[in-house]
């Protein structure tokens, strides 16, 4: 039987470090307030004229492909998760495909917000299991700093998000002992407006002029923070246990949990609910903030680079975000 395996991983974050102290200088906030509520100390913002969504993804992809021992020509398909494309359409995957010389292969956009990378990984896993493709590039990339409201009014959201990209190469394998064991995807559209950006949208008389020019705030991120938190701390453990139960495993079998980096308080709550020790959960939100679809592959890459993931380890990925969406992936490394 054919399975899929992560054979290469890479990430890229912009060089522009935005500290809590800097945010204090431009809005009514402070380091203690941000740290207490989110755990974030700094995040990365893109450099105009240097970084784009696609260019960040390309840097991460080059590393992943090289570590897989492949060349761009060996890639059969691209699955690209983002909610911050360089163009309204087409998606940045097409730009990456062009710039990396991968002409002719298919590109699939995934718009599932903070769960985007898990949705992308699951999609790629199914393509490989079906025998359709052998080597798939799976990307999560976000350039969010340009749509944040950096005023005191928007501080509750602006302090959270950052820019960056991560990528993995998923490859076909017959090895049952080292592979993606299972993936699990869920959504609940009843809460779509509790974490969303309204504009630009197609269901207006004039897509841009009616909303963005006359009322720029419709382009801001709107988040019902308390509701998001309450749902996240339920869905995270739920979907992690779903993955474990599917494979006849228990929380103590997990060697490393890599959650979506939404909020350090959420990750800590989930860790306690799962009865896991601190060394079994990887967090880097302190350095990068919430990079949405990019957060899991960036964290996964840093965990692997630092020796926190070794061959044979059981690694669990889990996410929750706008939509609402949530999902998990269980991997035997």
Q: Where among 132, 147, 173 does a domain terminate? A: 173
What is the structure's pLDDT at 209? 60
Q: How many residues does the chain have?
A: 333
Q: Give yes or no: residues 77 and 28 share one domain.
A: yes
The greatest distance separating any two alpha carbons of the chain, rounded to the nearest whole angstrom, comes to: 57
Domain count of the chain?
A: 2
Interatomic CA distance for residues 243 and 246, integer angstroms: 5
Q: What is the pLDDT of residues 172-209, one digit of tens each?
A: 999 999 999 999 999 999 999 999 988 787 887 776 66
| SS3 assignment, position 296 | helix
Q: Give yes or no: residues 146 and 9 share one domain.
A: yes
Q: Give yes or no: residues 8 and 137 share one domain.
A: yes
pLDDT bracket for residue 215 (50, 70, 90): confident
Interatomic CA distance for residues 286 and 39, integer angstroms: 6
Q: Residue 16: which CATH number?
A: 3.40.47.10
| SS3 assignment, position 160 | coil
What is the structure's pLDDT at 154? 87
Cβ-proximal residues to 159 (8 Å cutoff; 6+ apart), any chain: 20, 23, 29, 34, 38, 40, 289
Q: Give yes or no: residues 130 and 194 share one domain.
A: no
Query: Over pLDDT 70: what percentage of the chain?
Result: 98
User: Any catalytic annotation for residue 114?
Assistant: yes
Q: What is the pLDDT of residues 96-142, one digit of tens each?
A: 999 999 999 999 999 999 999 999 999 999 999 999 999 999 999 99
What is the structure's pLDDT at 201? 79
Active-site residue (options: 11, 20, 290, 316): 290
pLDDT at 78 over 80: yes
Q: Give yes or no: residues 309 and 225 share one domain.
A: yes
Q: Answer for the pair 114, 108: CB distance below 8 angstroms, yes or no.
A: no
Closest CA to 197 of 157, 169, 163: 157
Active-site residue (options: 11, 20, 114, 301): 114
Question: Mean pLDDT across the stretch 147-160?
Answer: 91
Q: Give yes or no: residues 41 and 71 share one domain.
A: yes
Interatomic CA distance for residues 268 and 28, integer angstroms: 27
Q: Give yes or no: residues 278 and 325 share one domain.
A: yes
User: Any catalytic annotation for residue 284?
Assistant: no
Active-site residue (options: 11, 184, 231, 260): 260
Q: Give yes or no: residues 145 and 236 share one domain.
A: no
Q: The domain containing residue 214 runs over which residues?
A: 179-332
Interatomic CA distance for residues 204 and 34, integer angstroms: 36
Closest CA to 29 of 201, 162, 157, 168: 157
Q: Give yes or no: residues 127 and 40 share one domain.
A: yes
Q: Give yes or no: residues 89 and 169 share one domain.
A: yes
Q: Where among 140, 173, 206 does a domain terminate? A: 173
What is the structure's pLDDT at 166? 98
User: Any catalytic annotation for residue 260?
Assistant: yes
Q: Give yes or no: residues 140 and 285 share one domain.
A: no
pLDDT bracket for residue 210 (50, 70, 90): low
Q: Where among 173, 201, 221 does a domain terminate? A: 173
pLDDT at 31 over 90: yes
Q: Give yes or no: residues 15 and 121 share one domain.
A: yes
């Amino acid at each position: 039987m054919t399975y899929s395996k992560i054979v290469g991983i890479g990430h890229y974050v912009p060089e522009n470090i935005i500290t809590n102290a800097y945010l204090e200088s431009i809005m009514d906030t402070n380091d203690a307030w941000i740290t207490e509520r989110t755990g974030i100390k700094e995040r990365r913002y893109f450099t105009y004229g240097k970084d784009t969504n696609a260019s960040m993804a390309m840097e991460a992809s080059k590393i992943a492909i090289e570590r897989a021992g492949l060349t761009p020509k060996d890639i059969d398909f691209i699955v690209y998760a983002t909610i911050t494309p360089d163009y309204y359409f087409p998606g940045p995957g097409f730009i990456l495909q062009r710039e990396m010389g991968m002409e002719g292969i298919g590109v699939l956009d995934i718009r599932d917000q903070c769960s985007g990378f898990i949705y992308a990984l699951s999609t790629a896993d199914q393509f490989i299991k079906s025998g359709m493709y052998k080597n798939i590039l799976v990307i999560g990339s976000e350039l969010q700093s340009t749509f944040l409201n950096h005023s005191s009014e928007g501080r509750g959201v602006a302090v959270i998000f950052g820019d960056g990209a991560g990528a993995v190469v998923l490859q076909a394998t017959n090895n049952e002992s080292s592979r993606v064991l299972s993936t699990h995807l869920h959504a609940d559209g009843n809460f779509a407006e509790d974490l969303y950006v309204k504009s630009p949208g197609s269901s207006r008389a004039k897509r841009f002029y009616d909303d963005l020019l006359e009322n720029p705030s419709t382009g801001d991120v709107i988040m019902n923070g308390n509701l998001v938190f309450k749902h996240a701390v339920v869905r995270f453990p739920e979907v992690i246990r779903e993955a474990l139960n599917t494979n006849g495993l228990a929380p103590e079998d997990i060697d490393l949990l890599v959650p979506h980096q939404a909020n350090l308080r959420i990750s800590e709550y989930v860790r306690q609910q799962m009865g896991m020790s601190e060394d079994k959960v990887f967090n880097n939100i302190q350095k990068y903030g919430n990079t949405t679809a990019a957060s899991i592959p960036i964290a996964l890459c840093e965990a692997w680079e630092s020796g926190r993931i070794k061959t044979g380890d059981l690694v669990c990925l889990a996410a929750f975000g706008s939509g609402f969406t949530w999902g998990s992936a269980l991997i035997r490394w």
